[in-house]
Amino acid sequence: MQIECQHRDEHSCQFLLSGAMPSFANSIRRAMASEVPKLAIDTVRIYDNTSGLFDEMLTHRLGLVPLRTETGTYIPIEECTCEGEGCDRCTVSYTLSVEGPGVVYSRDLIPNDPVAAPAQGDIPIVKLEKGQKVVIEARAVLSTGKAHAKWQPTTVCGYKNYPRLAIDARCDGCGVCVDACPRHVLRLTGRTVTVDEARIEDCSLCRLCEKGCMATGIGDQPAIRVGTEPDRFIFTVESDGAIPATEILRQSVRFIRTHGDELSRALEEIAEG
Ligand code: SF4
Ligand code: SF4
Ligand SMILES: [Zn+2]
């Protein structure tokens, strides 16, 4: 099995997974979305809210603000020795006090630990008219997307099978499929159609080329066939800013390895009776 990085920056990455079963590709996807822990606001104490939003809506919006989460800095509150009280090993506290007129932004959330500040400061939370006020205290804890979507570190997390295109000998080079392709994956040189290998990964598997070929009256089957490689996958991952995209991948692989080892140990114990 191989992972080949094709693009990466702080918020996104694209990589090619080769030599893996579809079930394994799906395990990585699921682990990235729901097993990588991050911070999110979970409890809000409202001292004043005269904005146009109900308290529930305001707290819901606060919960969805991505908070920077450095790996290993905090532990889940249910594993902490404070037994749910909240302490500096498992909890980050925020204060927010804004008076209108103006917009309350995510940057108005002031953390007791600057490392856990909102990932982007310009997320609007609520607009205040003159005289309206929001004064709150909030508490963020570590959890995973399995518990609630607000703890999901990815905004995009998906893969597609690697495209494979085949053109058979019945092709007469009419070029209809080339014009039908919205991703410009096919090329016509003289009366010969070829696949542009530099663009093959852009193929969306839409099959418009096959439809175009059928429309020429070629017969029961098109001369061009769209398929996929069964053990190669193109992954696209985007982070909400809480954790870098490559770190999300690293932690998901670690999760699968740890749980795979546990399963294997359990199976050995069962086999030994
Ligand atoms: S499947 Fe769609 S994107 Fe891929 S080559 Fe055919 S028309 Fe183009
Ligand atoms: S539409 Fe069919 S016959 Fe025409 S160039 Fe494409 S594959 Fe060949
Ligand atoms: Zn604690």
pLDDT one digit per residue (tens) for the chain, 273 residues: 899 999 999 899 999 999 999 999 999 999 999 999 999 999 999 999 999 999 999 999 999 999 999 998 999 998 999 988 999 999 999 999 999 899 999 999 999 999 999 999 999 999 999 999 999 999 999 999 999 999 999 999 999 999 999 999 999 999 999 999 999 999 999 999 999 999 999 999 999 999 999 999 999 999 999 999 999 999 999 999 999 999 999 999 999 999 999 999 999 999 987
Give the CA dihedral 125, 123, 156, 27, nearest 10 degrees.
Answer: -70
Asked whether residue 261 is assigned to any structural domain, the reply reads no
Question: In whole angstroms, how far apart are CA 252 and each of 27, 34, 35, 192?
Answer: 9, 9, 7, 45
Cα–Cα distance measured from residue 258 to residue 147, given in angstroms and rounded to the nearest whole number: 20
173 C-beta closer than 6 A to ligand 2: yes
Please give the pLDDT value at position 46. Answer: 97
Q: pTM, whole model, 2 decimals?
A: 0.87
Please give the pLDDT value at position 10. Answer: 86
28/49 same-domain check:
no
The tally of domains found in the chain comes to 2
Which residue's CA is the closest to the ligand 1 atom numbered 2?
Answer: 206
Q: Measure 210 CA to ligand 2 centroid, in angstroms.
A: 8
138/69 same-domain check:
yes
Please give the pLDDT value at position 196. Answer: 95
55/118 same-domain check:
yes
116/54 same-domain check:
yes
Q: Is 108 helix (H, G, I), strand (E, B) or coil?
A: helix
Q: Which ligand is nearest to the CA of 224?
A: 2
Query: Do residues 239 and 11 touch, judged by C-beta distance below 8 A?
Result: yes
Please give the pLDDT value at position 84. Answer: 87
Q: Is 90 helix (H, G, I), strand (E, B) or coil?
A: coil
Please give the pLDDT value at position 273. Answer: 77
Asked whether residue 253 is assigned to any structural domain, the reply reads no
Cα–Cα distance measured from residue 118 to residue 104, given in angstroms and rounded to the nearest whole number: 13
128/221 same-domain check:
no
177/142 same-domain check:
no
Which residue's CA is the closest to the ligand 1 atom numbered 7?
Answer: 181
Asked whether residue 77 is assigned to any structural domain, the reply reads yes
Helix axes 245-272, 22-34, angle to 10 degrees: 120
Please give the pLDDT value at position 17. Answer: 95
**Which residue, of 147, 170, 204, is where some domain finishes?**
147
DSSP string, 18-51: ES--HHHHHHHHHHHHHSS-EEEEEEEEEEEE-S
Question: What's 211's domain CATH number?
Answer: 3.30.1360.10
Please give the pLDDT value at position 222. Answer: 97
Please give the pLDDT value at position 121. Answer: 96
Please give the pLDDT value at position 139. Answer: 97
Q: Measure 212 CA to ligand 2 centroid, in angstroms.
A: 8
92/223 same-domain check:
no
Query: Do residues 177 and 188 touch, judged by C-beta distance below 8 A?
Result: no
Q: Is 92 helix (H, G, I), strand (E, B) or coil?
A: strand
112/81 same-domain check:
yes
Peptide bond into 124 cis (omega under 30): no
Which residue's CA is the closest to the ligand 2 atom numbered 3?
Answer: 171
Q: Measure 204 CA to ligand 1 centroid, in angstroms.
A: 6
Question: What's 102's domain CATH number?
Answer: 2.170.120.12
6/138 same-domain check:
no
Ligand 2 atom with the smallest distance to the CA of 193 is: 5
Asked whether residue 143 is assigned to any structural domain, the reply reads yes
Domain of residue 219 covers 2-34+155-237
Asked whether residue 110 is assigned to any structural domain, the reply reads yes
142/160 same-domain check:
no
217/204 same-domain check:
yes
42/142 same-domain check:
yes
Asked whether residue 252 is assigned to any structural domain, the reply reads no
**Which residue, of 147, 172, 188, is where some domain finishes?**
147
- 188-208 CB burial, b ≥16 within 10 A, e <16: eeeeebebeeeeeeebeeebe
Ligand 2 atom with the smallest distance to the CA of 186 is: 6
- CB within 8 Å of 182: residues ≥ 6 apart: 204, 206, 208
Cα–Cα distance measured from residue 159 to residue 149, given in angstroms and rounded to the nearest whole number: 20
Asked whether residue 174 is assigned to any structural domain, the reply reads yes
- Give bridge partners of residue 140 from the DSSP assignment: 41, 92
